[in-house]
């Protein structure tokens, strides 16, 4: 540019005026191209939604939001099931809370909506090439191996034994609180339960979060550091730079290294043990080390690390939140608690105080309570994919390559068009009275996602929630400590987090 100006032999003042004209023309060009949407987003008159500001779209409303879920839910209340907005850095977002859209994205046109490059790059340090973020053959291989293992009898025994053992530890903690009438933060207790359970199932490790809460395992502490760190990257386009020069960033890098070393050490330890005696270790990591696909291919060490960390992270937070929202929903619905107790007393007895594996499926009402909770409080409240080619949604909305098609499971769960007039009411029986008892249409109820990439841990999560809820309710009554917000406020995150602790009074059902 400077060379061109020199060749034109313009004075400094003329050059300045020329640059100014060019700059202003460019801005005018952008303003014409993006009159009400963010730079990079296609200007579209055919979609309804909040009017955007030229060049930045709806960025300011998004910044001022409480949480993105609530922002989108307010828009759904105003504009209906289908609407759109844009934001600088995000491009165009098309929200379509229509079961047909979920089916289109998750199943029918699956190949046109892969997991995005941005997600892969931002979370590579943690998820690596694990199932949650990859596409194509890498995803297929892991999906096949994991589902195969998860369907086996060994896995069944492993999860059952582990969940029962860890649930008993929870009951012991609750006894301590009930004895001295000391309230407990159930959200924190569930988080310790889920990490101890998934640590046991996947690695054979006892993180001792239930038994020794004051000596927090370094692995667990660093796990939280990386989860929050990665979430921060989605909000900060300059993360690569800021992490390099911030204390928080340095702590994250330390955490990545620690977690990697920890898992690689365990892989080596497991391999040595398995060489000596194949039956000496029974956990998911051991099973993955031994697993072979149809072509005789085994997981290499990097794949083992990735698969294990993906399962730990995929299953921990989600189940913690599911348990917290379930117990909260029970506490505020007395008639639901009564029906639960009726079911528990019908299946369990003084001689059989603990459900066997086969008993679990008898707890139909309890499972319905879990589903009903997820309908109103889906712990993965929003989901979506960027289209890689032009498409048309079943409701005739065109989608252009690069646009993000989203559905908001929180809004869908409260939509009368989907769930009828009592959509906002907590009514677990709806999952029992419908034709497909406890097998809700996954496109209408996409809380575990749907189609080929539906959650692989649904069964495990259901077992964890049903067993723990049954054992807890059988022995104790739970009440919200007064003065807390009900329903609890949300905290901005990828999952539907409660902002504050869930302080709860615990008392014995029968006087000791
Ligand atoms: C209530 C508890 C849970 C909920 C609500 C839940 C929800 C979900 C959702 C919405 C997805 C799709 C994510 C996406 O692709 O955008 C997913 C995927 C997945 N979940 Fe879960 N999950 C739960 C528990 C678990 C557990 C306990 C595990 C295993 C330890 C697990 C393992 C997975 C895996 C491996 C995937 C990836 C599947 C694939 O991409 O093919 N989940 N889950």
26-80 confidence digits (pLDDT tens): 999 888 988 899 999 999 999 999 999 999 999 999 988 889 999 999 999 999 9
Ligand 1 in contact with 457 (CB < 6 A)?
yes
The pLDDT confidence band at residue 353, using thresholds 50, 70 and 90, is very high
pTM for the model:
0.94
For the domain that residue 326 is a member of, what is the CATH number? 1.10.630.10
Say if residue 336's pLDDT is above 80: yes
Q: Check pocket membership of 406 for ligand 1, CB cut-off 6 A.
A: no
Taking only the tens place, the pLDDT of each residue in 192-236 is 999 999 999 999 999 999 999 888 899 999 999 999 899 889 888
Instruction: Quote the ligand 1 centre to 454 CA distance (angstroms).
Output: 7
* Mean pLDDT, range 306-312, rounded to an integer: 96
- Which among 223, 170, 183 is positioned nearest to 465, based on CA atoms? 170
Look up residue 182 and give its two tokens: 């000391």
User: Tokens 């949650």 sit at which residue?
Assistant: 132
What confidence category does residue 512 fall into, taking pLDDT thresholds of 50, 70 and 90? low
Task: Classify residue 7: in a domain, yes or no.
Answer: no
Report pLDDT for 299. Answer: 92
Residue nearest to atom 3 of ligand 1 (CA): 318
- Report if residue 103 sits inside a domain: yes
Determine the atom of ligand 1 nearest the C-alpha atom of 460: 27
Mean pLDDT rounded to a whole number for the chain: 94
25 occurs within a structural domain = no
- Regarding the beta carbon of 314 and ligand 1, being less than 6 Å apart is answered yes
Alpha-carbon span 34 to 45, nearest angstrom: 12
Q: What is the DSSP letter of 447?
A: B
Expressed in angstroms, the distance from the first to the final Cα of the chain is 86
* pLDDT score of 1 more than 70: no
Query: Residue 5 has what pLDDT?
Result: 61
pLDDT band, very low/low/confident/very high, at 271 (cuts 50, 70, 90) = very high
Q: Strand locations in 45-142, DSSP E?
A: 82-87, 91-96
Question: Is position 54 within any domain?
Answer: no
Q: Whose CA is nearest to atom 7 of ligand 1?
A: 448
Count the domains in the chain.
1
Q: Label residue 7 by pLDDT band (50, 70, 90).
A: confident
Measure the CA–CA gap between 507 and 204, rounded to whole angstroms: 33
CB 407 near ligand 1, within 6 Å: no
Stretch 141-160: mean pLDDT, rounded?
92
**Distance (Å) from CA 493 to ligand 1 centroid:** 16
Range of the domain at 494: 97-508
Does any domain span residue 281?
yes
Question: Is 379 part of any domain?
Answer: yes
Ligand 1 centre and the CA of 447: distance in Å?
9
Per-residue pLDDT of 434-480, as tens digits, reads 788 999 999 999 999 999 999 999 999 999 999 999 999 999 999 99
Residue 56 lies in a domain: no
DSSP three-state, residue 458: helix
In a domain, 33, yes or no: no
Q: From CA 197, how far away is CA 207, in angstroms rounded?
A: 9
Crossing angle of helices 458-475 and 301-331, in 10° steps, is 40
Residue 6 in this model has a pLDDT that exceeds 80: no
In the chain, pLDDT over 70 holds for what percent of residues? 99
CA distance 404 to 421: 30
Please check if 209 is assigned to a binding site: no
Burial 51-69 (b: 16+ CB within 10 A, else e): ebbbbbbbbebbeeeebbb
Q: How many residues comprise the chain? A: 512
Residue 12 has pLDDT above 90, yes or no: no
Residue closest via CA to ligand 1's atom 1 equals 319
Q: What is the ipTM of this complex?
A: 0.99
Q: Does the C-beta of 59 come closer than 6 Å to ligand 1? A: no
């Amino acid at each position: 540019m400077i060379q061109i100006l020199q060749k034109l032999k313009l004075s400094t003042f003329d050059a300045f005026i020329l640059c100014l004209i060019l700059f202003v023309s460019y801005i005018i060009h952008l303003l014409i191209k993006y009159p009400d949407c963010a730079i990079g987003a296609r200007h579209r008159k055919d979609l309804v939604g909040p009017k955007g500001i030229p060049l930045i779209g709806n960025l300011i409303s998004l910044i001022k939001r409480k949480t993105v879920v609530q922002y989108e839910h307010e828009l759904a209340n105003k504009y209906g099931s289908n609407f759109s907005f844009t934001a600088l850095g995000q491009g165009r977002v098309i929200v379509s809370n229509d079961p047909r859209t979920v089916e289109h994205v998750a199943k029918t046109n699956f190949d046109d909506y892969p997991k995005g490059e941005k997600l892969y790059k931002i979370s590579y340090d943690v998820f690596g090439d694990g199932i949650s973020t990859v596409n194509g053959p890498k995803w297929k291989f892991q999906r096949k191996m994991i589902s195969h293992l998860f369907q086996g009898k060994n896995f069944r025994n492993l999860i059952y034994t582990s969940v029962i053992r860890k649930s008993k530890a929870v009951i012991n903690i609750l006894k301590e609180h009930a004895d001295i009438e000391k309230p407990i933060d159930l959200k924190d207790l569930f988080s310790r339960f889920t990490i101890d359970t998934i640590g046991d199932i996947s690695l054979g490790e006892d993180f001792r979060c239930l038994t020794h809460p004051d000596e927090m395992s370094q692995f667990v502490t660093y796990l939280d550091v990386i989860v929050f760190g990665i979430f921060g990257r989605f909000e900060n386009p300059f993360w690569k730079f800021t992490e390099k020069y911030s204390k928080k960033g340095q702590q994250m890098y330390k955490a990545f290294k620690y977690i990697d070393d920890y898992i690689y050490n365990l892989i080596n330890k497991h391999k040595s043990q398995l060489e000596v005696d194949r039956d000496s270790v029974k956990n998911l990591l051991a099973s993955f080390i031994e697993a072979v696909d149809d072509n005789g291919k085994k997981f290499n060490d990097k794949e083992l690390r990735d698969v294990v960390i993906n399962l730990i992270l995929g299953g921990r937070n989600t189940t913690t939140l599911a348990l917290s929202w379930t117990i909260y929903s029970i506490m505020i619905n007395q008639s639901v608690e009564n029906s639960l107790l009726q079911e528990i007393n019908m299946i369990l007895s003084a001689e059989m105080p603990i459900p066997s594996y086969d008993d679990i499926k008898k707890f139909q009402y309890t499972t319905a309570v879990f589903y009903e909770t997820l309908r109103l409080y889906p712990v993965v409240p929003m989901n979506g994919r960027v289209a890689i080619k032009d498409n048309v949604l079943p409701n005739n909305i065109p989608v252009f390559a690069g646009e993000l098609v989203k559905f908001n499971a929180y809004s869908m769960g409260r939509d009368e068009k989907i769930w009828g007039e009592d959509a906002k009411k907590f009514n677990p029986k709806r999952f029992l009275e419908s034709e497909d008892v406890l097998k809700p249409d996954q496109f209408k109820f996409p809380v575990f996602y749907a189609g080929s990439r539906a959650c692989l841990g649904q069964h495990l999560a259901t077992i964890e929630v049903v067993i723990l809820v049954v054992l807890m309710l059988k022995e104790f009554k739970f009440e919200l400590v007064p003065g807390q917000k009900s329903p609890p406020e949300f905290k901005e995150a990828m999952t539907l987090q409660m902002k504050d602790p869930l302080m709860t009074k615990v008392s014995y059902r029968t006087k000791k």
